[in-house]
Structure 1
Amino acid sequence: MAKAYRKDEFEFFQNQVGKIDQRVKSYLEVAGFEKWTWVYAPVNRGRMMTSNLAECINGKLKQARELLIIEFLEEVSASSTHIYSIYDEGKKYIVCLDRSPFSCGRFQLDEITCERAITVLKNKHVVDMKPYCSEYYYPEILRKTYDQSMFPMPYKKEWIVPQEVIDEVVLPPKYKRQPGRPKKNRHKK
């Protein structure tokens, strides 16, 4: 549920949880979906949180709106070469290669190309996939992540710990052991 990219996918899992234990479903609703799910997160974790196909089309045709109707239709025809419908497991997904608002929602969250867009790109014989994923996934950027040296911590005796940290009291979470014998976790073959 937490990693669902689309609201309908999230709702399916939510209903499954409700069938198993309604109390858990109620607890998760009270906790607030925006705190622990990708699809309801108020923070744009992928820095590009739209799957609106109209936005993709409007972005492509922004300059074409000023053209005469015949020229506009030619531009629309040319722009449709960037928009594809993919059917996967009975569901329809829209892939817009121009601006990457893929309807599955994966690019918006992870900033990595989904398998449906890769299928379209391979059918178009695209070899360089770099424009279709975040620069964070480029090999040279990943290598830069490990450029800095990491030094081991000094001995505990040499630590400089502020007094307010020393004064902080951290208690373990409250836990109440359930009555009765604990259940065994058996693996069915």
Structure 2
Amino acid sequence: MHKGEPTWWQDALTHFENDPIMGECIRTYGSEGLQGRGDLFYTIVRSIIGQQISVIAAESIWNRFETMVGIVTPENVRKFSKEDIASCGITRPKSGYILGLANDAENLLNFPYSTTSTQDIQKHLIQFKGVGPWTAEMVMIFAILLPDIYSPKDIGLVNAIKRLFPEVETMEQAEEVAKRWAPYRTMACWYLWRTLDPIPVEY
């Protein structure tokens, strides 16, 4: 897993220089953006915690969880019970998913992510309980740093596109709009989220 700025980030900035939407976003929010942690387990756990809650709520719960666990590794997570994890404000189902991933970390992590297609990465990830398409997409954006990922059911992305394109009414229409930002839809997602939240999205 790559740490720091994605290898394609500078190329994407150049690609979007004259894009009326992304170019303006880059000028508004700056050219520094997505940073990889190089830690897939960390990202997948943080994504599960962030499922269907606001960025601010997820940040608060994550901070409590990280304070309890310390460095978020499978070994450290396995030291705690489902009840311990839930005490951080995480729902009981999510607590079970996180513990399950820690217990099955070898199967989760020992996979050729860097040489596998997007579709096969998603198939691999969603076989783990608690990991659906959205969580898999967050992992592909924030851990694997693939350049052209769009998450069609992410409410934040849909709302950001609706604000920029008032004629858009549905998720399907938003997904169609996002196609204009290929082959760097990952960068587009990062800047679309920035238009909504004072805290940069991080998983």
Shorter-chain TM-score bucket reads under 0.3
- Between Structure 1 and Structure 2, the one with more strand by share is 1
Q: Which has the higher helix share?
A: 2
When normalised by structure 2's length, the TM-score is 0.26
TM-score (norm. length: structure 1)? 0.28
**Structure with the greater relative contact order (CA < 8 A, sep ≥ 6): 1 or 2?**
2
